Amino acid sequence: MISHIFRAVSRWIFFAALVYAPWAYGATTSAGIQTTNWILLAALALWIVELLISRRGPRCPRLLALLAGALICLGGWMAFNARSMYDSEFSFFVPVRNFAPPFAGSVDYAISAAWMFRGALLLGTMLFVSDLSQSSRWLLRLWYVIGLAGSSIAFLGLLQKATDAQMIFWQPPPPPEFGVTTFFATYFYHGNAGAFLNLVWPLNAGLLIREFTSRFHPGMRALWTIVFILAIAAVLANTSRMAQLVALVLLVLIGLHFGPALLRKLSGAQKSVAMAGAIAIVLALIALAQATHLEQPLNRWQSVGERIPADARWQASRMALRALPGAGLFGFGPGTFRVVFPGCNIGSGNPVPGTWRFLHEDYLQTVLEWGWLGSSLWALLFFGGLAVAIRSYKRYATREWIPRRRVLQPLAMVALMGVALHALVDFPFQIESIQLYVATYLGICWGSSLWYQRSEVGNQKSAVRPDHRGLRSVIFVI
How confident is the model at residue 456, as a pLDDT? 46
- Range in 129-138, 262-271, 452-461 with the lowest mean pLDDT: 452-461
Give the model's pLDDT for residue 175: 59
Mean pLDDT calculated for residue range 348-376 = 88
Rounded percentage of the chain residues whose pLDDT exceeds 70 = 81
Q: Is the model more confident about 398 or about 459?
A: 398
- pLDDT at residue 177 tops 50: no
Round to whole Å and give the CA distance between 54 and 436: 27
pTM of this structure: 0.88
Beta partners for residue 92, in sequence order: 87
Q: Is 192 exposed, middle or buried (0-12, 13-18, 19+ CB in 10 A)?
A: buried
Which pLDDT band holds residue 287 (cuts at 50, 70, 90)? low
What's the rounded Cα separation, in Å, for the pair 431 and 441? 15
Q: Quickly state the pLDDT bin for 451 (edges 50, 70, 90).
A: very high
Mean pLDDT (the chain, rounded): 84
Distance CA 214, CA 209 (A): 9
Percentage with pLDDT > 90 across the chain:
57
Q: Using 50, 70 and 90 to split pLDDT, how confident is the model at 463?
A: very low
Residue 144 pLDDT: 95
Q: Is the pLDDT of residue 305 over 60?
A: no
Q: Please indicate whether residue 447 or residue 275 has the higher confidence score (pLDDT).
A: 447
The DSSP-derived string for 15-54 is HHHHHHHHHTGGGTSHHHHHHHHHHHHHHHHHHHHHHHHH
Distance separating alpha carbons of residues 15 and 345, to the nearest angstrom = 41
Which pLDDT value is given to residue 465?
A: 40
The pLDDT of residue 412 is 97
Taking 3-state DSSP, the helix, strand and coil percentages for the chain, each rounded to the nearest 5, stand at: 70, 5, 25
Question: What pLDDT is stored for residue 222 in this prediction?
Answer: 81
Q: In sequence order, what are the residues at sequence separation of 6 or more whose Cβ sits closer than 8 angstroms to the Cβ of residue 127? A: 58, 60, 64, 65, 68, 443
Residue range 75-102: mean pLDDT, rounded: 89
Who has greater pLDDT, 22 or 273? Answer: 22
Q: Give the pLDDT score at 6.
A: 95
- The string of pLDDT tens digits covering residues 191-212 is 999 999 999 999 999 998 887 7
CA 245, distance to chain mean position in Å, is 17
Specify the amino acid at residue 231.
A
Instruction: Give the pLDDT score at 460.
Output: 41
Q: Which pLDDT score is estimated for 223?
A: 85
Q: Do residues 400 and 451 touch, judged by C-beta distance below 8 A?
A: yes
Which residues fall within 8 angstroms of residue 66, CB to CB, at 6 or more apart?
none
Tell me the longest C-alpha to C-alpha distance in the chain. 75
Q: How confident is the model at residue 295 (pLDDT cuts 50, 70, 90)?
A: low
Average pLDDT over every residue of 302-316: 66
287 versus 154: which is more confidently predicted? 154
On whether the CB atoms of residues 173 and 109 are closer than 8 A, the answer is: no
- pLDDT value at position 104? 92
Residue 296 has pLDDT above 70, yes or no: no
Predicted local distance difference test score (pLDDT) of residue 265 = 65
Q: Which pLDDT does position 266 carry in this prediction?
A: 61
pLDDT in tens, 404-413: 999 999 999 9
Higher pLDDT, 433 or 219: 433
Phi, psi of 116, deg, nearest 5: -70, -30
At 269 the pLDDT is 52
Q: What is the pLDDT of residue 83?
A: 93
pLDDT at 65 over 80: yes
Report the distance separating Cα 25 and Cα 167, nearest Å: 12
Has residue 41 got a pLDDT over 80? yes
The arithmetic mean of pLDDT across residues 228-250, rounded, is: 89
Give the integer Cα–Cα distance in Å for 60 and 213: 30
- Sign of the torsion formed by the C-alpha atoms of 440, 441, 442 and 447: positive
Top mean pLDDT of 24-38, 239-253, 340-354, 460-474 is at: 24-38
Q: Is the pLDDT of residue 300 over 70?
A: no
DSSP assignment letter at 192: H
425-448 pLDDT tens trace: 999 999 999 999 999 999 999 999
Per mean pLDDT, which range of 6-20, 395-409, 419-433, 463-477 is the poorest? 463-477
Determine the pLDDT at residue 271. 57
Distance (Å, whole) CA 199 – CA 176: 33
